């Protein structure tokens, strides 16, 4: 009996298997983003990308930097819990460049008040509501109410 010789078909099979598995592993290394399994089965970079989007609403503290007068007024009345941008609209652009008139929040229309205060049967009872038609026949809510301090008469 001579020394054992690996049959050539087995050698070829082993080489082929190694080549296939090797190329798969290589392709996976190249194609998988580096941050893929940083936190789990997804791209960790996606978190950073999602976090890098631009802000549109500046948030109440940003308004207070310049408009502290309005804040003092607001803090006394029942509208103290309201966010500025709920009525005045998104203001990040205005806070970035306060002098740019194009992005300055506009004057609020009548619907700003009625959006919350028009009577609706689905609204909770604790919320102050009016039926505009019977409440006042005049022109503007601000004839009788100060929006930043609703109980005050102008």
Partner 1 sequence: MKSEISRRDILGGLGAVMAGLATLPLARTAKAAVQKLAVSANAPKGYDPTQHRWVMGIDINRCIGCGICVEACKTENHVPMGRNYFRTWIERYIITKPKPGTGAARGEVLVESPDGGMHGFSDLPVPAADVLHSFFVPKLCNLCEHSPCVQVCPVGATFDAPDGAVLIDPEYCIGCGFCIQACPYGCRFLNPFTRTAEKCTLCYHRITRGLKPACVEVCPTQARIFGDLKNAPPEDPIRQFYQDNRVQALKPFLGTDPRLFYAGMDKEVR
Interacting residues toward partner 1 by CB under 8 A: 26, 29-30, 33-36, 39-43, 45-57, 59-60, 81-83, 85-86, 90, 115-116, 118, 120-124, 126-127
What is the radius of gyration, based on Cα positions, of the chain?
33
Question: What's the min distance (Å) between Cβ of 36 and partner 1?
Answer: 8
Helix (H) or strand (E) holding 113: helix 111-117
Question: What's the min distance (Å) between Cβ of 26 and partner 1?
Answer: 7
Cα–Cα distance, 149 to 146 (Å, whole number): 5
List 130's β-bridge partners, or say none.
Answer: 118
Question: What's the min distance (Å) between Cβ of 129 and partner 1?
Answer: 9
Q: Which is nearer to partner 1, 1 or 121 (CB)?
A: 121
Query: Where on the phi/psi map is residue 87: left (φ > 0), alpha (ψ -120 to 50), or beta?
Result: alpha
* Among candidate residues 51, 33, 52, the one with its CA nearest the CA of residue 42: 33
Q: Which is nearer to partner 1, 30 or 153 (CB)?
A: 30
Q: Which is nearer to partner 1, 57 or 71 (CB)?
A: 57
* Among candidate residues 91, 138, 80, 82, the one with its CA nearest the CA of residue 110: 138
Question: What's the min distance (Å) between Cβ of 1 and partner 1?
Answer: 30
Q: Which is nearer to partner 1, 9 or 111 (CB)?
A: 111
């Amino acid at each position: 009996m001579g020394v054992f010789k690996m049959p050539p078909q087995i050698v070829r099979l082993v080489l082929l298997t190694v080549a296939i598995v090797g190329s798969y592993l290589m392709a996976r290394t190249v194609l998988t983003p580096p941050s893929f399994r940083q936190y789990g089965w997804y791209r960790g970079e996606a978190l950073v990308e999602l976090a890098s989007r631009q802000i549109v609403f500046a948030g109440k503290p940003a308004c207070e930097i310049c408009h502290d007068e309005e804040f003092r007024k607001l803090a006394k009345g029942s509208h103290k819990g309201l966010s500025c941008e709920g009525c005045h609209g998104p203001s990040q652009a205005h806070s970035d460049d306060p002098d740019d008139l194009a992005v300055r929040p506009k004057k609020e229309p009548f619907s700003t008040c009625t959006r919350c205060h028009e009577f609706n049967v689905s609204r909770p009872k604790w919320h102050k509501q009016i039926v505009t038609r019977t409440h006042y026949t005049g022109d503007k809510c601000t004839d009788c109410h100060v929006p930043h301090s609703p109980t005050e008469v102008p």
